[in-house]
Amino acid sequence: MAGTDRNPWRRLLALPNESRAKTLLVAFLVSAICAALVSTATVTLRPIKAANRAAEEQAQIAGLVAGIPGMAALLEQPGGQLSRVVIALDRGRAASDVTPATLESALADPANWTALEAGEDLAGLGQRPDYAQVFLRRQDDRVALLLLPIAGQGYGGRIDAILALDGDMNTIAGLVVTRHSETPGLGARIDEASWQASFPGTEIRDPGGALRFGVARGTATSSYEVDGITGVTRTSTAITRIVRFWVGPRGYGPLLSAIARGEF
């Protein structure tokens, strides 16, 4: 008399195909294997996606800088490269304990975020990071160009952009939208190069220091406005509020003041 097969796998395979136990076990094993494969793929692809996102942003930054009149020639000169600095936003100074390499882990700590009151939260963020990485280019020991990552709530979701300022910290050198969820054919037109081309030369504040920047409802009528986009009032208003927040006192305002005074 043959002995009982003690191999559980062979015993499972020996069961009739109509066996409920066999069906359930096979279904469980297939589900477990699929879940493991999906989990492994997610973990494996996450750094690749992050790297691709970073490369895309760097390409957009390079494109933005290249589009600023005279910048290509400046960047070809010795010392013309952009440098990265992590800023402590409240102080408007370079962070002493956070670097570009440690910024992501620092912002993973909820203690490094500041809740915003409704009256000051122009960008609709809810909370603002205490640290931000900026890109700058120096010339004759002064900041000649400053690139600022900005973000806020649009009509369809979050809008991310990079705002470039000339050395006077009041003239916009350019703006590029890096990510958004606005309505295709309407608000999504904010990522069109033809619209973004209206930003260079626009001023943020008037001579008295009052914040004047805005997206016009139609054609810009002053040096503080950029052309609006027909039919997308909410998205246009969102861009106005996002820029105003980030150049204001709860955003990069302290940094812009320090640079304008020659203290950075």
- What is the tens place of the pLDDT at every residue in 135-146? 888 888 889 889
| Cα 188 to Cα 239: distance, rounded to the nearest angstrom | 12
Closest CA to 160 of 132, 118, 138: 132
Of residues 22 and 135, the one with the higher pLDDT is 135
- What is the tens place of the pLDDT at every residue in 144-201? 889 999 999 988 889 999 899 998 999 998 888 888 887 776 778 888 888 888 899 9
What local confidence, expressed as pLDDT, does residue 59 receive?
66
Report, as an integer, the average pLDDT of 75-84.
70
What local confidence, expressed as pLDDT, does residue 65 receive?
66
Token pair 């290509």 is found at 72
Closest CA to 63 of 158, 169, 194, 175: 175
What local confidence, expressed as pLDDT, does residue 26 receive?
75
What local confidence, expressed as pLDDT, does residue 255 receive?
96
- What is the tens place of the pLDDT at every residue in 201-237? 999 999 999 999 999 988 889 999 998 888 788 888 9
For the chain, give the mean pLDDT: 83
What local confidence, expressed as pLDDT, does residue 12 receive?
65
What local confidence, expressed as pLDDT, does residue 53 receive?
65
- What is the tens place of the pLDDT at every residue in 23-36? 777 777 788 888 77
Report, as an integer, the average pLDDT of 36-63.
67
What local confidence, expressed as pLDDT, does residue 243 receive?
96
| Cα 121 to Cα 86: distance, rounded to the nearest angstrom | 22
Report, as an integer, the average pLDDT of 101-127.
93
pTM for the model: 0.74
Model confidence band, residue 19 (pLDDT cutoffs 50, 70, 90): confident
- What is the tens place of the pLDDT at every residue in 238-257? 999 999 999 999 999 999 99
Residue 111 has pLDDT above 80, yes or no: yes
